[in-house]
Amino acid sequence: MRSGFLHLSLVFFALARSPGVAAPLDTAPVQEEEWVLTHSADGVVQAVKQSTVSAQIAGRVVDIRFDVGDRVRKGEVILRIDESEVNQALAQAQALLAQAEAQFEDARAHYERSQRLFERKFISQAALDAARARYEAARSLVEARRAAAGIARTTRGYATVVAPYSGVVAARHVALGEAVQPGQPLMTGFDPSRLRVVAYLPQARFQQFNPADPVRVVIPALDKEVLAQAVTVQPAADPRTHTLQVRLELPSSLQGVLPGMFARALFPVGRARGLTIPQSAVLRRSEVTAVYVVAPEGSLRLRQVRLGLPIGDGRVEVLAGLAAGERVALDPVRAGIQAGR
């Protein structure tokens, strides 16, 4: 009984090792095709809308309503500065305006009386001119005081800092109770719905690049590749690096991308034609690059090849070692096992 079981096991082992029962290998032909040549340029993600809100008056920070990472809607109050000093300045300006208006009313009434007296020959031309000059001076003073009051009123509005657009707070530069001066940064924010990649294209490649052609953008950290929605080339080259800045707007639906991330831009700079194979068929061992070629009778032969650059869609250019129409195994590991039996 035991010898019969051993004999049956040997038969199954022999069948398993037999080429006749091996699963067929997936293969692909060596194709001749045309593809787009690209120039790869490193870039960085930027926000189209990114700004730093600065203080426009001197004072002490009395209220901070948002912090880093918070979402803010346009027009929301993000910070308040003590407005005691600007309130006093506004009250002073309004008092001076009221004084100037009273003086103007007095000068106007005096000028009107002087006109009636001059018509009756009771005062001289010089007296009328003096009354007119006083009236004009009083009117000018009212206009100046009114403008000063408007400036004071506007300045008081600077004590309440509001968001200029909807976005996310990227940095907070002040703390509660801190004294600030005009021009001092308060908060930095950006709009996450509008991002772009800024890359630099060598001027030698610029003549080969058509901004109307689609440009692919790769975000390696997220393993994402998208097409730029808009391409803007700066109209001047950098005289030090001899490159042109190119701005590539990203789709608004792209998630997980943040300003400052590394990106790679693939600029189309021409077209090429040649032989290609799937990258999955390539076997790399140390410094040897090879593929398993399937002969017409079904045998497998390992053949060394010389490859070019990847051309997209999981395919790579073949510079030497293969001919159009030949077939290569897509799984070189399985092909090596079968070829070694």
- Quick one: pLDDT at residue 85? 85
- Quick one: pLDDT at residue 22? 55
- Quick one: pLDDT at residue 115? 93
- Quick one: pLDDT at residue 145? 94
CA distances from 7 to 4, 10, 51, 68, 215 (A): 5, 5, 81, 75, 65
Residues whose CB is less than 8 angstroms from the CB of residue 331 and which lie 6 or more positions away in sequence, other chains included: 25, 26, 280
DSSP assigned state of 23:
P
- Quick one: pLDDT at residue 147? 95
pTM for the predicted model, two decimal places: 0.64
Kindly give the parts of the chain with pLDDT less than 70.
Answer: 1-23, 341
Buried residues in 85-114 as b, exposed as e (16+ CB within 10 A): bbeebbeebbebbeebeebbeebeebbeeb
Distance CA 235, CA 253 (A): 29
Q: What is the CA radius of gyration of the chain?
A: 40
Domain 39-48+193-271 of CATH type 3.30.300.30: no
Domain residue spans of the chain: 24-35+273-339, 39-48+193-271, 57-81+159-192, 83-158
Domain 57-81+159-192 of CATH type 2.40.50.100: yes
- Quick one: pLDDT at residue 213? 86
CA distances from 202 to 19, 45, 250, 270, 306 (A): 55, 19, 22, 15, 28
Closest CA to 303 of 279, 325, 320, 286: 320
- If one looks up domain 83-158 in CATH, what number appears? 1.10.287.470
196-241 tens-digit pLDDT: 999 999 988 888 888 888 899 999 998 888 999 999 999 899 999 9
Q: Identify the H or E element spanning 244.
A: strand 243-249
CATH architecture of 24-35+273-339: Beta Barrel (2.40)
Phi then psi for residue 140, to 5 deg, are -65, -40
- Quick one: pLDDT at residue 9? 36
- Quick one: pLDDT at residue 142? 94
Angle at CA 254, nearest 5°, toward 248 and 259? 60
Q: Which residues pair with 27 in a beta bridge?
A: 329
